[in-house]
Chains A and B, each alone.
Chain A
Amino acid sequence: EALVINDPDFQHEDLNFLSRSQRYEQAIRKSSLMVMKLREYGIADPDEIYLFKSFVHRGRPEPLDLHLGMFLPTLLTQATPEQQDRFFMPSWNLEIIGTYAQTEMGHGSHVRGLETTATYDPATQEFILNSPTVTSIKWWPGGLGKSSNHAIVLAQLYTQGQCKGLHAFIVPIRQMGTHEPLPGITVGDIGPKFGYDEIDNGYLKMDNFRIPRENMLMKYAQVEPDGTYVKPLSDKLTYGTMVFVRSMIVGDSARALSRACTIAIRYSAVRHQSELKAGEPEPQILDYQTQQYKLFPLLATAYAFHFVGTYMKDTYRRISADIIEGNLSELPELHALSAGLKAFSSWVANAGVEECRMACGGHGYSRCSGLPDIYVTFTPCCTYEGENTVMMLQTARFLIKSYMQVGSGQRVTGMVSYLNDLTRQHIQPQHVAARPVSVLINDPVSLVEAYKARAAWLVEAAAKNLQAELNHRKSREDAWNVTSVDLVRASDAHCHYVVVKLFTAKLSEISNAAVRAVVTDLCLLYMLHGISKNAGDFLQAGILTNTQVNQVNQRVKELLAIIRLNAVALVDSFDFSDNYLGSVLGRYDGNVYENMFEWAKKSPLNKTEVHESFHKYLKPMQAKL
């Protein structure tokens, strides 16, 4: 970190005052420098590269992300040895700058609907690439607009007159040396977005563009010179990358929320407003119960997601070792879990970042707070790598399948094993009068059981509604569609259960007693606040009584007052440097107002004392009237 922060080459003007083109240029400058410096320092370990990169770009996206994160790994996993010889070293050395072009204007999460075609021509042993409709234009890939000279393009493969589904092709798009688009290629930037100013997300239109047969990535599927298609062994393997990226998003959610909480909580300790008691000095706004109620559950959530993120990363590592040895048994559950948790955590964090911003009042709306930037950078997570609702429904499909398996007498394992008990217990709201008393609201383990019961109840309800629709003359597809609101609720409850289970499991691993005590309070707050927010489910399922819900609400407020004491220390523990945080409101030293004034003076509108529009418009208007 110090290596980067002390390097004058990585300094620049405050990004908030730069135009989009300037931000792109700064990012490219830093990326280029970074690559050269990595070589100079001889840094090659992936984790170290990741750290170095995140300090250079202060946790922001950069135009070469897709080159490093998708283009190179795809080459490694899907290219044949010969293809690796041809492409890997030039790409590693950035002679080739690549991107990964999957999403099209008309299709995103529904990958099978992509329309780009690659038609094999045995006469010349080439593929002819086409974007046959407007909707088939590649749209969104990062680094495609201006930076890349190659792209891995996903297209429907046609050979011998038949469509063989989606395959990946290495397509050169710009002339080496001049960087001009090649004939038959139309490429450009898709214009301004909500955030991601520094990225040239691009479009790509191909018009009878020919590439040699050897440019299809052929480690798994192959097209032989005469056009014969050879099928891959398993199509599940390509899941690997998606599962990895989705698992990573859980960690990103934790980070975005931690940053926002740090800013909001520090600022709430510095900001004094109004009076709690007549005649006394204005209190810190952090002393108001409503402010605590906004921020502390989010702080607890940030910790929860941190632990879940770590768990997902570890699990992925463990399972990918199995996969290499050909053991795919755990892949379906991990796939379902990563989809659901990706959606669950990014939705919650997305809303949480906004709550933090609004908890900072008007100043949160200024770009100097850093919060608008965290939000616009984070919010596309809800859409990319699988739209959240679609993700929740994927998890639901797995849950329903597991439920059916249990119904047919099989046992299921892993996080869904609670379904094994269902058919025996037959949870019905009217039959569980004896259950509520068993929930102890101060005992994390007991609360995990309550969340488990809620998940089981909602999965069963969704499954039964689905069955009822099926019995009701509906086709499978229609039945699924009219049950999808229930299914999303079930997935949500399942993910919530997984989060509280993992959070609680973490507590016993903390050795320092004082740390364990404060993290236990956070864990309790997370769980009780979740119950309070979803009281309808717990009441309707008969898991808790009205009296207990009342106790939960009361206990939440008591916990707020307890956590208040350590709130600033708890965000300091995230250990973000001021530089990384990029926020005037969230400064470690708390000197907020002076620094806001200094920051504003640098605004482009303040470059001259009298703005030119005064001479152009206002003065003539005042004179004429």
Chain B
Amino acid sequence: AVNPDLASERLAASFSVELLTASLDGGAERTRSRRAVVEAIENDPVFSQENQYFQSQNERYEAAVRRAVYLRKKIREMGWTENGPEVQYVNRCLSGDIALILHRVFMRSISMLGSDEQIAKWIPLATDYQIIGSYAQTELGHGTYLQGLETTAVFDAATQEFILNTPKISAMKWWPGDMGRSATHTVVFAQLYVHGKCYGVHPFILQIRSLQDHSPRPGVTVGDIGPKMNFQHTDNGFLQLQNVRVPRENMLSKFCEVQPDGTYVRWGSQKINYFTMTALRISVLSEEVILPLKKACTIAIRYSAVRRQSKLKPGEQEAKILDYQTQQQKLLPQLAAAYAFHFIKIYLDELFSKGYQDIQSKNFDSLPELHAFSSGFKAMVSQHGTSGVEICLRACGGHGYSLLSGLPSLYTRIIASCIYEGENTILLLQTARFLIKCFMAASAGQPVPPSVTYLSSVKPGKCPAKDKLDFLSPEIYLKAYEQMAIRLISSSAAKLRHFIQSGVDEYEAWNQCTVQLEKAAKAHCHYITVKNFVETVEKLDNEAGIQKIMKHLCDLFALHGIFSNMGDFLYDGYLTAAHMDLVTASYLDLLAVIRKDAVPLVDAFDFTDKTLNSALGSYDGQVYQRLYEWAQKSPTNQQGNPAYGKYLKPLLQNTLSKL
């Protein structure tokens, strides 16, 4: 039975949950097929995640490998395709708790960076899992700064081989997933040396373990890097190489090649070697960032409708904590952000699939913009998402801290996204570099990429809003965001110029401006996200049932952004102190409006209870019973208490004998 406190929330919905779900999925047909896949997986006991909160690192790893292997079987049984939408749905419902994820990155980098012959040789082997791949880029001493990698690949013309070495401890590969225990092969990134000359970082296919007995190949030292905050199921690995030789043909050579005599040839930009990473940044966003945020919102909001605490009015029943304004102000902006990011991800996907086609036909023009987009949005969305999940965790009081709530694992998992595939601060600075360049170009009247044309429309002015309702108009708040982004970018550019003109060298000047540049890049991404939300809502006009509630969420996302960055907006001069009172009033009003639809809005994400795996967030809201039942399954309750016999009892007897 559904807890009446949740049932009443659903009865009050102002829109059809089913329609919104279909819209999020991209059509009712997709919703149906997603549900079919989820059902097939969840009814198969092999994929059960029931005990994951009680398992050790070794058990988690083994279960993840088992799932990965059975999944291949399942895919064939069900007639799904490896690259089809079904596998995406599977990942969504397994929450990425599966091994051999990097195998797909391994394959993707070969398809993207390999020559036709290399693709013909390696892809079938990998598709059949005769080899298991990984992707070895990060080292102990270097991560995001790729030019600093220290692994070397020296070409030996005599044998037509590359000799791979990790010449010092900081050069050891460190962190690659699936490499510690599982992988047989990996794509290694190393500094290429030919005839004593360094040509920079290049990718090489390297076998690291025997295909017979899985033991490391001669010259290879490989193992697991030890426990982390999460990802217990993944064997992130280290790799030391000592004079390990690979044939010349193992350097991935779609865009550059070392010829037999040692001549180095390149077609296109060196940057293309990082395109795998650029694309990866965007693709991790949905499963590793936006989904966890949606799940955290679902758990926290459902729980807040069930949890009653204290009385709003004397003599009445205790109030749902969701009715407290402070609770609404914690959770509802996160919910709005989850929707905003869902929509920005669709926008980025479209941008990237077009860019990918261009690159395959060796047109690299869009690369700088794509790179700036992937860096900036990966950083902004992951940072915002991480703090959102943490807010949800802390909004659930003590029970949020129990692993059984599901929130701690969501949190420890999403925070990794702030670091991997590029540390966020550095990524934002890369975006800032692009923005400064575009700003200079725009000021000089040169053409700029479509996403930044707003930079040439600098017209300082005053916001015309007179009433709090005016701030529910997208033109009004979009203008405020636009003004702020332009102001931060232009003043950073001015400051840089000022430093350089006063004799500071370029590098030092850049470093002196980085705090502000980071802010500028964030403001740009924030602006684009709000703008995209507004445009998405406009396009929903054929779906009248959900357009209204989406408009409310869009307004909330925008006004919350202004409310929380008041200083920047005020400094701008576009908004005045009096405007801020209007923004605050409008923002607080919206909380009460969205409060009414909060539960239906998370229901629309359509997570099954098994996918959520949370004692607090289940659809039926039977929170306390579930918490009690699950706790009893804990090994601490299933096994005896050895500590009592070993330590507590002797302690008591020792005392007694002394009394």
Enumerate chain A interface residues (CB-CB to B < 8 A). 16-17, 19-21, 24-25, 28-29, 32, 35-36, 39, 93-95, 97, 103, 105-110, 112-113, 134-135, 137, 139-140, 145-147, 179, 188-194, 200, 203, 271-278, 282, 287-291, 293-294, 354, 358, 361-362, 364-368, 372, 376, 379-380, 382-384, 387-389, 393, 429, 475, 477-478, 481-485, 488, 532-542, 546, 549-550, 553, 557, 593-594, 596-597, 599-606, 609-614, 616-622, 625
Question: In the complex, what's the smallest C-beta–C-beta distance from A38 to chain B, in angstroms?
Answer: 12
Question: In the complex, what's the smallest C-beta–C-beta distance from B219 to chain A, in angstroms?
Answer: 15
CB <8 Å contact, B56 and A361: no
CB <8 Å contact, A146 and B569: no
Q: Give CA–CA (A200, B512) in the complex, Å.
A: 50
B408 at the interface (CB under 8 A from A): yes
Residues of chain B in range 96-154 having any CB-CB distance to chain A below 8 Å: 128-130, 132, 138, 140-145, 147-148
Q: Give CA–CA (A382, B393) in the complex, Å.
A: 11
CB <8 Å contact, A134 and B625: yes
Q: Report chain A residues within 8 Å CB of B630.
A: 191
28 pairs, CB–CB < 8 Å, chain A vs chain B: A24-B643, A29-B643, A36-B654, A94-B655, A106-B624, A108-B398, A109-B309, A179-B649, A188-B632, A192-B634, A193-B403, A193-B408, A194-B408, A271-B141, A354-B415, A361-B144, A365-B229, A383-B397, A389-B330, A477-B314, A485-B325, A533-B567, A596-B140, A603-B223, A606-B180, A617-B69, A618-B132, A619-B214
**How would you classify the secondary structure of chain A's contact residues: helix, strand, loop or mixed?**
helix
Q: Report chain A residues within 8 Å CB of B318.
A: 110, 113
Q: B647's contact among A16, A32, A282, A382, by CB below 8 Å, is which?
A: A32
Known contacts A274-B145, A290-B514, A618-B69: A600-B226 contact under CB 8 Å: yes
Q: Report chain B residues within 8 Å CB of A134.
A: 624-625, 628
Question: In the complex, what's the smallest C-beta–C-beta distance from B638 to chain A, in angstroms?
Answer: 10
Q: Give CA–CA (A52, B647) in the complex, Å.
A: 19
CB <8 Å contact, B129 and A622: yes
CB <8 Å contact, B224 and A535: no
Question: In the complex, what's the smallest C-beta–C-beta distance from B341 to chain A, in angstroms?
Answer: 19
Known contacts A105-B624, A536-B580, A603-B225: A179-B323 contact under CB 8 Å: no
Q: Which of A28, A36, A287 has the most CB of B within 10 A?
A: A28
Q: Report chain A residues within 8 Å CB of B142.
A: 273
Question: In the complex, what's the smallest C-beta–C-beta distance from B491 to chain A, in angstroms?
Answer: 9
Q: Give CA–CA (A35, B170) in the complex, Å.
A: 44
Q: Report chain A residues within 8 Å CB of B643.
A: 24-25, 28-29, 146-147
Q: Report chain A residues within 8 Å CB of B309.
A: 107-110, 113
Q: Report chain B residues within 8 Å CB of A541.
A: 577
Q: Give CA–CA (A41, B257) in the complex, Å.
A: 73
CB <8 Å contact, A288 and B514: yes
CB <8 Å contact, A191 and B53: yes
Q: Report chain A residues within 8 Å CB of B29.
A: none
Q: Give CA–CA (A108, B309) in the complex, Å.
A: 8
Question: In the complex, what's the smallest C-beta–C-beta distance from B134 to chain A, in angstroms?
Answer: 13
B510 (CB) vs chain A CBs: closest residue:
A276
Q: Report chain A residues within 8 Å CB of B215.
A: 609-610
Question: In the complex, what's the smallest C-beta–C-beta distance from A292 to chain B, in angstroms?
Answer: 9
Q: Report chain B residues within 8 Å CB of A191.
A: 53-54, 402-404, 630-631, 633-634, 636-637
Q: B181's contact among A32, A193, A557, A614, by CB below 8 Å, is which?
A: A614
CB <8 Å contact, A597 and B238: yes
Q: Report chain A residues within 8 Å CB of B508.
A: 276-277
Question: In the complex, what's the smallest C-beta–C-beta distance from B498 to chain A, in angstroms?
Answer: 12
Question: In the complex, what's the smallest C-beta–C-beta distance from B317 to chain A, in angstroms?
Answer: 11
CB <8 Å contact, A605 and B636: no
Q: How many of B's residues come within 8 Å of A, CB to CB?
A: 137
A293 (CB) vs chain B CBs: closest residue:
B515
Known contacts A94-B655, A384-B398: A536-B567 contact under CB 8 Å: yes
Q: Report chain B residues within 8 Å CB of A593.
A: 140-141, 169-170
A366-B228, A618-B65 given; name 7 further pairs at CB < 8 Å: A20-B636, A35-B651, A93-B659, A192-B54, A477-B311, A616-B65, A618-B182
Q: Report chain A residues within 8 Å CB of B170.
A: 593
CB <8 Å contact, A611 and B226: no
Q: Report chain A residues within 8 Å CB of B423.
A: 361-362
B267 at the interface (CB under 8 A from A): no
B88 at the interface (CB under 8 A from A): no
B573 at the interface (CB under 8 A from A): yes
Q: Give CA–CA (A294, B624) in the complex, Å.
A: 40
Known contacts A191-B636, A203-B628, A484-B324: A611-B398 contact under CB 8 Å: no
Q: Give CA–CA (A192, B145) in the complex, Å.
A: 37
A16 (CB) vs chain B CBs: closest residue:
B227
B588 at the interface (CB under 8 A from A): yes
Known contacts A290-B429, A546-B571, A593-B141: A621-B129 contact under CB 8 Å: yes
B141 (CB) vs chain A CBs: closest residue:
A593
Q: Report chain B residues within 8 Å CB of A95.
A: 652, 655-656
Q: Give CA–CA (A32, B646) in the complex, Å.
A: 10
CB <8 Å contact, B624 and A613: no
CB <8 Å contact, A484 and B325: yes
Q: Report chain A residues within 8 Å CB of B566.
A: 535-537, 539-540
Q: Give CA–CA (A612, B63) in the complex, Å.
A: 12
CB <8 Å contact, B567 and A146: no
Q: Give CA–CA (A145, B635) in the complex, Å.
A: 12
CB <8 Å contact, B648 and A147: yes
Q: Give CA–CA (A103, B397) in the complex, Å.
A: 11
Q: Give CA–CA (A252, B132) in the complex, Å.
A: 47
B195 at the interface (CB under 8 A from A): no
Q: Give CA–CA (A380, B402) in the complex, Å.
A: 10
CB <8 Å contact, B398 and A539: no
CB <8 Å contact, A194 and B401: yes
CB <8 Å contact, A290 and B404: no
Residues of chain B in range 382-403 having any CB-CB distance to chain A below 8 Å: 390, 394, 397-403
CB <8 Å contact, B577 and A481: no
B79 at the interface (CB under 8 A from A): no
A481 (CB) vs chain B CBs: closest residue:
B325
Question: In the complex, what's the smallest C-beta–C-beta distance from B401 to chain A, in angstroms?
Answer: 5
Question: In the complex, what's the smallest C-beta–C-beta distance from A99 to chain B, in angstroms?
Answer: 14
Known contacts A105-B627, A354-B415, A481-B312: A189-B58 contact under CB 8 Å: no
Q: Report chain A residues within 8 Å CB of B420.
A: 362
Q: Report chain A residues within 8 Å CB of B68.
A: 617
Interface string of B220-254 (1 = CB under 8 A from A): 00011111110000010010000000000000000
CB <8 Å contact, A603 and B226: yes
Q: Report chain A residues within 8 Å CB of B325.
A: 481-485
Residues of chain B in range 603-659 having any CB-CB distance to chain A below 8 Å: 624-625, 627-628, 630-637, 639, 641-644, 646-652, 654-656, 658-659
B9 at the interface (CB under 8 A from A): no
Q: Nearest 8 A-B pairs (CB), nearest first?
A: A536-B566, A535-B567, A605-B224, A603-B226, A189-B636, A194-B408, A191-B634, A536-B567
Question: In the complex, what's the smallest C-beta–C-beta distance from A562 to chain B, in angstroms?
Answer: 14
Q: Give CA–CA (A593, B240) in the complex, Å.
A: 13
CB <8 Å contact, B129 and A625: yes
A188 (CB) vs chain B CBs: closest residue:
B637
Q: Report chain A residues within 8 Å CB of B639.
A: 21
Q: A146's contact among B69, B147, B401, B644, by CB below 8 Å, is which?
A: B644
Q: Report chain A residues within 8 Å CB of B311.
A: 477
CB <8 Å contact, B227 and A362: no
Q: Report chain B residues within 8 Å CB of A532.
A: 567
Q: Report chain B residues within 8 Å CB of A97.
A: 648
Interface string of B409-423 (1 = CB under 8 A from A): 001100110111001
Q: Give CA–CA (A372, B129) in the complex, Å.
A: 35
A148 (CB) vs chain B CBs: closest residue:
B648
